[in-house]
């Protein structure tokens, strides 16, 4: 049951895909307090209640005990004290005596106090008189989330190659450097499907340009990479460099496509290229114009992009910089004491991403000028919408890889996200594990974190453990920041062990891809907390560091340095699969309950539910070489089980074609195992306990 309540006159953010009629009564469960510019929703939490949701937020799967903000933020230090990251995913779901969810659909700033001030109270402060609020109630938490997902519409599905291993780095500076990276993967037997091109590929950080000295004959380079089954994925930033000799800048100015100050002049923000203008993506004509620019790269064979700095990140505004400089000038020559010293450092630190800047520029929405501060959380979504609308025009049947850093619910229909600038910290590996199911609840299924960590120097063991988790994340991309230690897996002494883990990813693709697409089409979660599958098991309900992956697998990643295993909770008897460094695996049936499970650094352990099996392919160097028609069925059965495998051309959007579904069957009769497939051309072997 979903009900929609309207407060004031909310704008259509584009988040909801279903049209519901407005309710007239009052919001159930929540107390509502409306003051002139604020709506406050309050509900009490019972002792047992777990609060899920908030997508890309900090802290645990259970959000209780902390506070969070809807305020898309470019913040590269994701420490525990933070309250906002890059996306605003304003959906929370309470599960305990009752099961209900609430989605606050507004671009406004929101403060979610989830038992932070009072452990038994959730208070949602919406800093606007206008919001559409959706209330969902059901008999169980899975249904609450599924109904919410039905409301917001089907999630984005990337091409199959985007399930392969991807290598990124800020930044590869030339075609030759990328060739070398690819060659090193290929010669070390490390599978690879994509290489990301960070800002250095551009000519002076100008969007949609390619530095022709470092990347000569770019079209030929793209084809050369394609022949080697490598997709190049260039970055596109929100800010357009101010440069009279740059056509994108000139066109934007001439046609009034950029965000304006109150006096009508184009707002200037400092980002990577120095002074830039931000396209006003709220205007359909700007989206069309900017979106068409992607064609310059798609015509050269590019079929994937990542949109970045689109919160938008503002290193400085001209106004902010001037004010800060004047302030610093006033302190010149002073004897700085405790207050004035901190005033100075605070002033300089506060130049970047200062919310005061959000009031200095305006968008035009249906002819009306609206300050950015009122629409802030929708900016990145609209940038990505510009790209998605363009791809639809270029070729409505073709899937493109699209990632965005900033997001809002609704964008999950056009794009995936990566979780931004994490650090090479063990705590961030754990954080990434916890973010995945929360993101899935909010529709973001194609997602993953920067494997190995973006900021700071990684260590080979952290990278390896992170990969062991990322084997299961739809986006499996190794990325790191400029100035940090080299992080490509072949850089490390034990590159064969790394290769083996990545080869396992390719073996699992028939399962991972099937579960991913089925989750999208059925409005299910690909990653789930154990509580969703075992709601009556009071221990499972509290587990925060194990996840269900699709219908048949449970993972319990190792996320502590020097650990040689970990305690795992099995909510039922399961088959433990231990994948070994020589590419073989061992299986063992493990009982329900807590067990210590050993997992050496180079071993990957996962669990298959009883009564289930999963299809494994032979490994390959790229998804293009993956043979989905030769499978080993690995599982644990008493008698008989079916698996509905989804397999398509990996490129077109023909998801509903019945031929994409293949039923695989295993029948166990004492020691005899027989296997069959609804598609005649599949070669099957079985490894069934």
User: Cβ(273)–Cβ(241) under 8 Å?
Assistant: yes
Spatial CA neighbour of 372 closest among 72, 14, 7:
72
- Angstrom CA distances, 595 to 127, 469, 565, stand at 47, 19, 10
- CA torsion 214→216→221→223, rounded to 10°? 150
Q: For residues 115 and 273, which CB has a smaller minimum distance to ligand GLC in the complex?
A: 273
Phi and psi angles of residue 318, each rounded to the nearest 5 degrees, phi first: -60, -40
Q: For residues 421 and 524, which CB has a smaller minimum distance to ligand GLC in the complex?
A: 421
Q: For residues 56 and 308, which CB has a smaller minimum distance to ligand GLC in the complex?
A: 308
Spatial CA neighbour of 496 closest among 580, 616, 586:
580
User: Cβ(422)–Cβ(447) under 8 Å?
Assistant: no
Q: How far is the CB of 312 from ligand GLC (least distance, A)?
A: 12
Spatial CA neighbour of 7 closest among 106, 136, 129:
129
**Beta strands 407-408; 87-88: pairing state:** parallel
Q: For residues 59 and 169, which CB has a smaller minimum distance to ligand GLC in the complex?
A: 169
Q: For residues 308 and 523, which CB has a smaller minimum distance to ligand GLC in the complex?
A: 308
Judged by phi (left if over 0) then psi (alpha if -120 to 50, else beta), residue 611 lies in: left
Q: For residues 74 and 147, which CB has a smaller minimum distance to ligand GLC in the complex?
A: 74
Q: For residues 170 and 394, which CB has a smaller minimum distance to ligand GLC in the complex?
A: 170
Q: How far is the CB of 198 from ligand GLC (least distance, A)?
A: 5
Burial label, 222 (beta-carbon count in 10 A; 0-12, 13-18, 19+): buried
Which residue bears the tokens 């190794």? 478
Q: For residues 276 and 623, which CB has a smaller minimum distance to ligand GLC in the complex?
A: 276
Q: How far is the CB of 252 from ligand GLC (least distance, A)?
A: 21
Q: How far is the CB of 236 from ligand GLC (least distance, A)?
A: 10
Q: For residues 448 and 615, which CB has a smaller minimum distance to ligand GLC in the complex?
A: 448
Q: How far apart are CA 416 and CA 394, in angstroms?
A: 19
Q: How far is the CB of 214 from ligand GLC (least distance, A)?
A: 16
DSSP 263: T
Q: For residues 235 and 351, which CB has a smaller minimum distance to ligand GLC in the complex?
A: 235
Under the rule (CB under 6 A), what is the footprint of ligand GLC? 170, 198-199, 235, 308, 405, 420-421, 479
Please list the alpha-helical segments (H only) found in 258-300: 284-293, 295-298
User: Cβ(378)–Cβ(409) under 8 Å?
Assistant: no
Q: How far is the CB of 613 from ligand GLC (least distance, A)?
A: 38
Q: How far is the CB of 417 from ligand GLC (least distance, A)?
A: 11
**Residue number with the smallest Cβ distance to ligand GLC:** 170
Q: How far is the CB of 421 from ligand GLC (least distance, A)?
A: 5
Q: How far is the CB of 307 from ligand GLC (least distance, A)?
A: 10
Rg (CA), the chain: 25
Structure-token pair, residue 420: 């931004």
> For residue 170, what are the contacts with CB-CB under 8 A and spacing of at least 6?
198, 199, 200, 479, 480, 481, 482
Q: How far is the CB of 169 from ligand GLC (least distance, A)?
A: 8
Q: How far apart are CA 547 and CA 431, in angstroms?
A: 13
Q: How far is the CB of 297 from ligand GLC (least distance, A)?
A: 16
Burial label, 427 (beta-carbon count in 10 A; 0-12, 13-18, 19+): middle
Q: For residues 10 and 455, which CB has a smaller minimum distance to ligand GLC in the complex?
A: 455
Q: For residues 78 and 277, which CB has a smaller minimum distance to ligand GLC in the complex?
A: 78
Q: For residues 421 and 523, which CB has a smaller minimum distance to ligand GLC in the complex?
A: 421
Other CB atoms within 10 A of residue 435 CB: 29
Structure-token pair, residue 107: 């671009």
Structure-token pair, residue 124: 């949602």
Q: How far is the CB of 309 from ligand GLC (least distance, A)?
A: 6
Q: For residues 266 and 421, which CB has a smaller minimum distance to ligand GLC in the complex?
A: 421
Q: How far is the CB of 407 from ligand GLC (least distance, A)?
A: 13
Q: How far is the CB of 405 from ligand GLC (least distance, A)?
A: 5
- Which own/partner pairs from 527-533 qualify as long-range (CB within 8 Å, at least 24 positions apart)? 527/436, 527/437, 527/439, 527/440, 527/472, 528/142, 528/437, 528/440, 529/52, 529/61, 529/437, 530/554, 530/569, 530/571, 531/50, 531/95, 531/141, 532/141, 532/142, 532/145, 532/437, 533/571
Structure-token pair, residue 186: 């290929």
User: Cβ(123)–Cβ(66) under 8 Å?
Assistant: no
Helix, strand, coil in percent for the chain, rounding step 5: 30, 30, 45
Q: For residues 90 and 449, which CB has a smaller minimum distance to ligand GLC in the complex?
A: 449
Q: How far is the CB of 235 from ligand GLC (least distance, A)?
A: 6
User: Cβ(32)–Cβ(39) under 8 Å?
Assistant: yes
Q: How far is the CB of 270 from ligand GLC (least distance, A)?
A: 14
Q: For residues 62 and 168, which CB has a smaller minimum distance to ligand GLC in the complex?
A: 168
676 beta partners: 665
User: Cβ(451)–Cβ(479) under 8 Å?
Assistant: yes
């Amino acid at each position: 049951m979903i009900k929609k309540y309207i407060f004031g006159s909310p704008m259509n953010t584009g988040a909801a895909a279903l049209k519901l009629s407005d309710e007239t009564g009052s919001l159930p469960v929540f107390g509502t307090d409306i003051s002139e510019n604020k709506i406050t929703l309050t509900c009490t939490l019972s002792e047992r209640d777990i609060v899920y949701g908030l997508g890309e937020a900090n802290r645990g799967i259970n959000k209780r005990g902390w506070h969070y903000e809807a305020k898309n933020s470019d913040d590269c230090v994701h420490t525990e004290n933070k309250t906002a990251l890059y996306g605003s995913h304003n959906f929370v779901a309470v599960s305990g005596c009752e099961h209900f969810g609430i989605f606050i659909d507004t671009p406004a700033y929101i403060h979610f106090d989830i038992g932070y001030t009072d452990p038994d109270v959730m208070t949602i402060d919406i800093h606007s008189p206008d919001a559409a609020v959706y209330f969902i109630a059901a008999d169980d938490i899975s249904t609450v989330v599924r109904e919410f997902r039905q409301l917001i519409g089907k999630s984005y599905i990337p091409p199959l190659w985007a399930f392969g291993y991807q290598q990124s780095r800020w930044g590869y500076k030339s075609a030759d450097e990328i060739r070398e990276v690819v060659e090193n993967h290929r010669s070390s037997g490390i599978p690879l499907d994509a290489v990301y091109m960070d800002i250095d590929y551009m000519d002076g950080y100008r969007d949609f340009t390619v530095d022709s000295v470092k990347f000569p004959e770019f079209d030929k380079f793209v084809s050369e990479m394609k022949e080697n089954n490598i997709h190049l994925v260039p970055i596109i930033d929100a800010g357009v460099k101010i440069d009279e000799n740059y056509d994108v800048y000139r066109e934007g100015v001439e046609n009034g496509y950029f965000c304006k100050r109150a006096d009508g002049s184009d707002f200037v923000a400092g980002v990577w290229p120095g002074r830039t203008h931000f396209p006003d993506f709220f205007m359909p004509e700007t989206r069309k114009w900017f979106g068409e620019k992607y064609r310059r790269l798609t015509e050269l064979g590019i079929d994937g992009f990542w949109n970045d700095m689109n919160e938008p990140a503002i290193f400085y505004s001209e106004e902010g910089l001037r004010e800060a400089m004047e302030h610093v000038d006033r302190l010149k020559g002073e004897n700085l004491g405790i207050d004035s010293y901190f005033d100075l450092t605070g002033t300089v630190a506060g130049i970047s991403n200062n919310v005061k800047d959000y009031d200095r520029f305006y968008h035009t929405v249906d002819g009306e000028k609206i300050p950015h501060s009122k629409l802030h959380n929708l900016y990145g979504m609209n940038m990505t919408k510009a790209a998605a609308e363009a791809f639809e025009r270029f070729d409505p049947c073709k899937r493109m890889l699209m990632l965005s850093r900033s997001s809002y619910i609704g964008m999950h229909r056009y794009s995936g996200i990566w979780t931004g600038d994490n650090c090479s910290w063990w705590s961030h590996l754990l954080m990434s594990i916890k973010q995945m199911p929360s993101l899935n609840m909010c529709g973001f299924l194609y997602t993953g974190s920067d494997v190995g960590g973006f900021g700071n120097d990684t260590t080979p063991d952290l990278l390896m453990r992170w990969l062991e988790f990322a084997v299961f994340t739809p986006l499996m991309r190794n990325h790191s920041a400029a100035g940090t230690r080299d992080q490509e897996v072949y850089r490390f002494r034990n590159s064969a062990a790394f290769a083996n883990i990545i080869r396992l990813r390719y073996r699992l693709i028939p399962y991972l891809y099937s579960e991913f697409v089925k989750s999208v089409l059925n409005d299910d979660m690909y990653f789930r907390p154990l509580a969703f599958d075992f709601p009556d098991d009071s221990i499972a309900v509290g587990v925060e560091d194990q996840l269900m992956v699709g219908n048949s697998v449970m993972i319990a990643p190792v996320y502590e340095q020097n650990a040689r295993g970990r305690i795992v909770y099995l909510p039922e008897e399961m088959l433990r699969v231990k994948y070994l460094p020589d590419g073989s695996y061992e299986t063992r049936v493990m009982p329900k309950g807590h067990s210590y499970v050993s997992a050496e650094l180079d071993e990957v352990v996962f669990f298959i539910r009883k009564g289930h099996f999963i299809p494994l392919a032979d490994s390959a160097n790229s998804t293009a070489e993956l043979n989905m028609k030769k499978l080993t069925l690995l599982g644990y059965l008493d008698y008989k089980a079916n698996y509905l495998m989804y397999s398509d051309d990996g490129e077109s959007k023909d998801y509903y074609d019945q031929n994409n579904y293949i039923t695989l069957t295993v029948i166990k009769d004492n020691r005899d195992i027989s296997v069959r497939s609804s598609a005649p051309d599949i070669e099957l072997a079985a490894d069934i306990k």
